[in-house]
Amino acid sequence: MTSIEWTNQTWNPTTGCDRISPGCDNCYALTMAKRLKGMGQAKYQNDGDPRTSGPGFALTVHPDVLTEPLRWKKPRKVFVNSMSDLFHARVPREFLARVFAVMAATPQHTYQILTKRPDRAARLLTDLCRCGAGHPPGEHFRSSMEWAATSHSDSYVPGLEHGISHRAGWPLPNVWIGTSVENQKHADLRIPALLQTPAAVRFLSCEPLLGPVWIADHIWQACTCCEGEGHDESCARCADSHCDSGHIRQLDWVIVGGESGPKARPMAPQWATSLRDQCKENHVPFFFKQWGEYAPTGYIVIGGTSRGSILTGDPVDDLGHRVEIARVGKKAAGRELDGRTHDAYPNPAARHG
């Protein structure tokens, strides 16, 4: 089980990673890997490049844990790779196919994959079959996935003897794929790649949120079934993600959170409330995970602050007032935004093209 607020279970078929952006600077997984290495944990004995990784945090695949979800009978939300990035460049394509084969064979679970490398996810999961028969995007990777689920494959996964055949559909209806967004620069880089990735649910994790982020321009796209004659209410592809103006929602969920840990950077409240308001206006479920180490004091000031407090974010009015926040610790800061919790989840029935 896990204490992560938006999931029930973690599953780490790979461990280790490399820092690639400011959101990685205080990576909790890197710190935890160093501790686990010192405790003698077998999965964390390979050291990564000290410039981008660290002790116990080299990218390592773990075939021995692939079958764990086959033993979980009760449905659960499963965060895939809380200690790694499934789409890291050094995760072999064949191993990825095995991971997806397990997810396809366990439809009772919902798998939540979070990556800072959505460009690789998009390339792999839309890879065309090379047989020349004009198969749809993703068919080549899906063929690899189905091959990995059979006893005839070098990538055979014990417990999948009956294969997954074509029952699962594509994209897999129980797999959600999201990308991490810490600031506007990386929103602009990663969201377009995520939108090219086939997934039952596409989501953003804006944690740690290090600056204001505008996502509203990415949420809707024109729905092709609405061109010319208007929307057909029986169009299953649109499901409940359709709006009256003939558009379909591309982003299904947004998670927001501040940073925790000894080197945590503060999150300005208006960064979080802006994302909440963008989600509300565009009918996107919003989940506020935590404030992190810092929380607003309730004061808006221009000049000096009370001892131990700081001013953060852009001014909130023309007079230059800023929101005051203070370091109070993760537990004391809590997870209420403007006096309430936000625990919305996406509707997995919404489907995308």
Task: Write out the H or E segment, with its range, that includes residue 272.
Answer: helix 269-281
Distances (CA, A) of 39 to 18, 33, 223, 257: 22, 10, 53, 30
Q: What are phi and psi of 218, to 5 degrees?
A: -95, -10
Task: Say what the pLDDT of residue 163 is.
Answer: 58
DSSP string, 92-129: -HHHHHHHHHHHHH-TTSEEEEEES-HHHHHHHHTPPP
Q: Which of 132-146, 223-237, 252-266 has the highest mean pLDDT?
A: 252-266
Question: What is the 8-class DSSP label of residue 66?
Answer: T
Q: What are phi and psi of 68, to 5 degrees?
A: -50, -50
Q: What are phi and psi of 116, to 5 degrees?
A: -95, 10
Distances (CA, A) of 343 to 213, 254, 289, 346: 20, 10, 8, 10
Task: Say what the pLDDT of residue 353 is.
Answer: 44
State the pLDDT confidence band at 67, using cuts at 50, 70 and 90. Answer: very high
**pLDDT higher than 60, residue 235:** no
Residue 12 CB neighbour total at 10 angstroms:
19
State the pLDDT confidence band at 224, using cuts at 50, 70 and 90. Answer: low
Q: List the beta bridge partners of residue 221.
A: 248
Query: What is the total residue count of the chain?
Result: 353
Tokens (6 digits) for 218 = 């990415």
Task: Write out the H or E segment, with its range, that includes residue 254.
Answer: strand 253-257
Q: Considering only 40-49, 100-109, 171-180, 312-321, which range has the smallest mean pLDDT?
A: 312-321
Distances (CA, A) of 189 to 26, 158, 180, 186: 21, 38, 11, 5
State the pLDDT confidence band at 145, using cuts at 50, 70 and 90. Answer: confident
Task: Say what the pLDDT of residue 168 is.
Answer: 61
**For 305-320, b where at least 16 C-beta lie within 10 A, e where not — what string?**
eeeebebbbeeeeeee
Q: What is the mean pLDDT of residues 312-324?
A: 90
Q: Decide which of 300 and 86 is more confident.
A: 86
Q: List the beta bridge partners of residue 79.
A: 10, 112
Percent of the chain with pLDDT over 90: 70
Q: What is the mean pLDDT of residues 83-102?
A: 96
State the pLDDT confidence band at 164, using cuts at 50, 70 and 90. Answer: low
Q: What are phi and psi of 194, to 5 degrees?
A: -60, -40
- How far apart CA 259 and CA 265 sit, in angstroms, is 6
Average pLDDT, the chain: 89
**For 101-139, b where at least 16 C-beta lie within 10 A, e where not — what string?**
bbbbbbbebbbbbbbbbbbbbbebbbbebeeeeeeebbb
The letter for the amino acid at 315 is: P
Q: Considering only 54-58, 82-86, 229-233, 270-274, which range has the smallest mean pLDDT?
A: 229-233
Nearest Cα residue to 246 out of 224, 265, 218: 224
State the pLDDT confidence band at 170, using cuts at 50, 70 and 90. Answer: confident
Task: Say what the pLDDT of residue 234 is.
Answer: 42
**pLDDT higher than 80, residue 89:** yes
The letter for the amino acid at 207 is: E
Cis upstream peptide for 171 (omega within 30°)? yes
- HSE-CB at 340 with a 13 A cutoff on CA atoms is 7
In tens, the pLDDT along 175-199 reads 999 999 999 999 999 999 999 999 9
Classified as helix, coil or strand, 222 is: strand
Q: What is the mean pLDDT of residues 35-46?
A: 97
State the pLDDT confidence band at 139, using cuts at 50, 70 and 90. Answer: confident
Task: Say what the pLDDT of residue 225 is.
Answer: 64
State the pLDDT confidence band at 240, using cuts at 50, 70 and 90. Answer: low
Q: What is the mean pLDDT of residues 80-101?
A: 96
> 250 with 352: CB under 8 angstroms?
yes
How many angstroms separate the most distant Cα atoms in the chain?
71
Nearest Cα residue to 288 out of 277, 298, 276: 276
Q: Considering only 121-135, 174-188, 230-244, 326-340, which range has the smallest mean pLDDT?
A: 230-244
- How far apart CA 141 and CA 128 sit, in angstroms, is 8
> 286 with 342: CB under 8 angstroms?
yes
Classified as helix, coil or strand, 217 is: helix
Tokens (6 digits) for 29 = 């997984």
Distances (CA, A) of 135 to 97, 142, 229: 18, 11, 28
